[in-house]
Amino acid sequence: MDFSSLFPPSTSLVIADEEMWHTPLRDEEEALIDGAIDKRQREFRAGRNAAHKALTLLQAPDVAILRGERREPVWPAGYIGSIAHCRDLCLAVCARDGEIAGLGIDVEPLTPLPEGVDRYIHTETDAKLMQSKRNAFPERLVFSAKESLYKCYYPLIGRYFGFQSVNLTEVDKGHFKFRPTDKCQVDFPPELTFHGHYRYDSTHLLTACYLARD
C-alpha cells in the first residue's frame, strides 16, 4: 500500500514492525493492559511502540502515552496523533499540534462486515452514495471512514458521536468527505479543513484523515 500521500510531509507515520508487536512498553503503559488477552496486549504494544517511534522522529519528549477517559491516547503536550490496528497490521501517525489540528487513522481487513452490522453504520445517504460506486467492500469503507474521522475529531470535541451522526458526501478516487446529519449533536470546528483519504491493497483497507488550520 502507498502510505506516502495520506498525510502532509510534516507528519510522521510508522508501521509497526515484527518486534514492536511484542516489545514491552513503559511500566505505566503495561499497566493499561495488565490482565488483557494476548491479542489485545500485542496490538496495544504494536500501537504504542509505533507511536513512540513516530514521536521520536518528531523529536517529541519521550514520555508514556497513557489513555484518556474514552480510550484516546494521551499525547505529549504540543503533539497529536492516532493509532490503528487490526490482526496483522498496525500504524501510528503523529504531528506537532500546529498547522495540523487533528489526525485519524483506521485499518481494516478486506472482508465483508459481519452480517447486519451495516444498518447501524450506514445512513440512507451513505447507502445511496455507495450504490453508485464500485468500491470493494463498500460497507467496510463507510465503517472505516467513520471510525477514522471519529478518532480525528474526538480529541478536539471531547464528546462521543455515533455512526448516524454523519453522512459521507463524497467517496471518490481515494478521497472522502462528510457532512453532519440532522441528528448530529456535536459541533465540528468550522475553521478546520477536513481531508479524508482511503487506500486499498489486496488484503487491507486503510482510511486516514487530518484537520488543517488553513
Residues near ligand COA (CB under 6 A):
43-44, 47, 70-73, 83-85, 106, 146-147, 149-151, 154-155, 161-163, 165-166
For residues 97 and 79, the answer to whether their CB atoms sit within 8 Å is yes
Smallest gap, in angstroms, from Cβ of residue 71 to ligand COA?
Answer: 3
For residues 171 and 205, the answer to whether their CB atoms sit within 8 Å is no
Q: Which residue number, 138 or 155, has a Cβ lying nearer to ligand COA?
A: 155
- The single residue listed with the C-alpha cell 491479542 is 39
Share in percent of the chain as helix, strand, coil (round to 5): 30, 30, 40
Q: Which residue number, 79 or 161, has a Cβ lying nearer to ligand COA?
A: 161
Q: Which residue number, 114 or 134, has a Cβ lying nearer to ligand COA?
A: 114
Smallest gap, in angstroms, from Cβ of residue 89 to ligand COA?
Answer: 10
d(CA 156, CA 150): 10
Type of residue at 132:
S
Q: Which residue number, 58 or 186, has a Cβ lying nearer to ligand COA?
A: 186
What sign does the dihedral 125-128-119-68 (CA atoms) show?
A: negative
Smallest gap, in angstroms, from Cβ of residue 137 to ligand COA?
Answer: 16
Q: Which residue number, 58 or 117, has a Cβ lying nearer to ligand COA?
A: 117
Smallest gap, in angstroms, from Cβ of residue 188 to ligand COA?
Answer: 10
Smallest gap, in angstroms, from Cβ of residue 122 to ligand COA?
Answer: 11
Instruction: For the chain, report the end-to-end CA distance as a whole number of angstroms.
Output: 28
